[in-house]
Amino acid sequence: MTDIKSLNEAQLSEALKSLGEPAFRSKQIYQWLHQKGVSSFDEMTNLSKELREKLKEEYFIPCCNIEEKYVSKLDGTVKYLFKLFDGEYIESVVMKYKYGYTICISSQVGCKMGCRFCASTLNGCKRNLLSAEMESQVHSAQNDLGIRISHIVLMGIGEPLDNYENVINFLKTVNNENGLNISLRDITLSTCGIVPKIYELMKEELPITLTLSLHAPNDKIRSEMMPINNKWSVDEVIKALDEYEKHTSRRVSFEYTLINGVNDSEENARELAKKLKGINCHVNLIPVNNVKENDYIVSNEYNIKKFQYILKSLKINATIRRTLGKDINASCGQLRRKKQES
């Protein structure tokens, strides 16, 4: 069985041609799959029953079925646990902002990067998500909530640059005007810093926003937190982001999760400002979420504000990320993990 939803327009058109179908059929099917996000061939009501049966014999539509859903009473944030065709689980979160709805999607089932503070990586990576499965997270949420999602962040479970080809296919697909038609400028990709892939992405010339999970100003601290730092150092990864910004003229971001006594001192803030000097960038300061498998503790509010103040006084843009969905455990990896344990 072939995944019909990960085929691009040209491939779909070829496939339909080989079934002896006229060209307009391919456009109809493309729109069912990518604009409306249907989950079965029977919903494609303008196709003959015969063609639907023929399609069912050769193809399947990878879907994200809602297994669990939580709505925050505090801010309306919605968290989904989705079940995939092979019984695996992933998570997505929909957040409402002034400018519209943003979805945070997963890119892999689990993650092999091993960051010590992260719940998504505790059992390694089961498999990559298909392009269709990344897209179906958007469709399932949109269809369930009856809304249009305008922004996507690839910040859920998984390392997007470790699933490079499917992620690029996904980005091009959601941008297609016969599909979700989401602007690439409204998509953010977050990476732990796989340097060669950052350069490869740079050459794709896609106007997405790239954000790096930096979390530390030097190798000593970063290597303790993130094994990937043993492969590419802080300087190497910051240089890659700097080149990415210069090549694409797209401002880059750095995520910095604040952990009490680990990376939140005044000295850490100064060292960070020095490293980022001259780069057109923005720093997102994130209070670390408690994960029961590790003993990292969130920085106190005073230290978080002070960290931001130092960065700003040294001319580095920095904001503290607002926490949404606090009452529904909206930070990723935790629901899937609970399901695995039950």
Catalytic residue numbers read 91, 332
Burial of 245 (0-12, 13-18, 19+ CB in 10 A): middle
Residue 117 binds to ligand SAH (criterion: CB under 6 A): yes
Candidate segments 31-39, 132-140, 188-196, 197-205, binder of ligand SAH by CB under 6 A = 188-196
Contacts of 102 (CB under 8 A, 6+ apart): 94, 95, 96, 149, 150, 151, 152, 153
**Contact pick of 6, 191, 253, 308 for ligand SAH (by CB under 6 A):** 191
At 253 the three-state DSSP class reads strand
> Is-contact 112 160, C-beta < 8 A?
no
Least Å from the CB of residue 276 to ligand SAH: 16
Amino acid at 239: K
Hey, what long-range contacts does 37-45 have (CB within 8 A, 24 or more apart)? 37/135, 37/136, 37/138, 37/139, 37/140, 37/142, 37/143, 37/180, 39/63, 39/65, 39/136
Applying the rule CB under 6 A, the residues between 212 and 231 that interact with ligand SAH are: 213
CA distance linking residue 166 with residue 161, whole number of Å: 9
Closer of 7 and 118 to ligand SAH (Cβ): 118
**Contact pick of 190, 229, 268, 308 for ligand SAH (by CB under 6 A):** 190
CA distance linking residue 310 with residue 289, whole number of Å: 23
Residue 288 binds to ligand SAH (criterion: CB under 6 A): yes
Candidate segments 3-11, 111-119, 200-208, 240-248, binder of ligand SAH by CB under 6 A = 111-119
Here's the x/- map for ligand SAH, 142-161, by CB under 6 A: it reads as: -------------x---x--
Least Å from the CB of residue 185 to ligand SAH: 19
Residue 304 binds to ligand SAH (criterion: CB under 6 A): no
* Binding-site ranges for ligand SAH (CB under 6 A): 115, 117-118, 155, 159, 190-192, 213, 255, 257, 286, 288-289, 291, 331
